[in-house]
Amino acid sequence: MRNTLGVLKNVFMALSALCFAVPAFAQGGTSGGANWVAISAGFGMAIASAGCGIGQGRATASATEALARNPSARAGIQFALILGLALIESLALYTLVIIFAKVK
């Protein structure tokens, strides 16, 4: 109980120290504004790549498990794996194309 209170105290002190950075937002308004398109493009690409990574990870995991259970079915499993990975990859690539189209 005492340890939790100590940890919470440190957490709130760190959060209040972060509030010292608030004047940085004032700077952006006068000098023309931050490039929100580029910032959101970075976040969008990161989210798309994360989703793609999770999807491809699951596809590869189940393909390797199926191969371990039934090594004689290698041709069919390999075919389905390559097809599935390429289709999932292309979803992340659509995000990349939008970024190239919109970010100067």
Partner 1 sequence: MPEQLFFTKLLNSIFAGPVTHLLRGLHIEPQYPQAPITNALSMEVLVVGFLLLLFIIVRSRLSVETPGGLQHLFEGLHGFIEDQSRDVIGHHSERFTPFLVALGLFILIGNLFGVVPGLESPTASAVVPLGCAVCAFFYYQAQGFRQSGVGYLKHFLGPMWWLSPLMLPLEIISHLARVMSLSIRLYANMFAGDMVTMVFFSLIPIVVPVVFLGLHIGVALLQAYIFVLLTTVYLAGAVATEH
> What residues make contact with partner 1 under the rule CB under 8 A?
79, 82-83, 86, 89-90, 93-94, 96-97, 100
- In the bound state with partner 1, the residue whose beta carbon lies nearer, of 7 and 37, is 37
Shortest Å distance, C-beta 96 to partner 1: 6
Give 7-72 as a DSSP string: HHHHHHHHHHHHGGGTHHHHHHHHTT---HHHHHHHHHHHHHHHHHHHHHHHHHHHHHHHHHH-GG
Q: Kindly state the smallest distance separating residue 76's Cβ from partner 1, in Å.
A: 9
Which C-beta is closer to partner 1: that of 9 or that of 102? Answer: 102
Q: Which is nearer to partner 1, 67 or 98 (CB)?
A: 98
| Maximum C-alpha span of the chain | 67
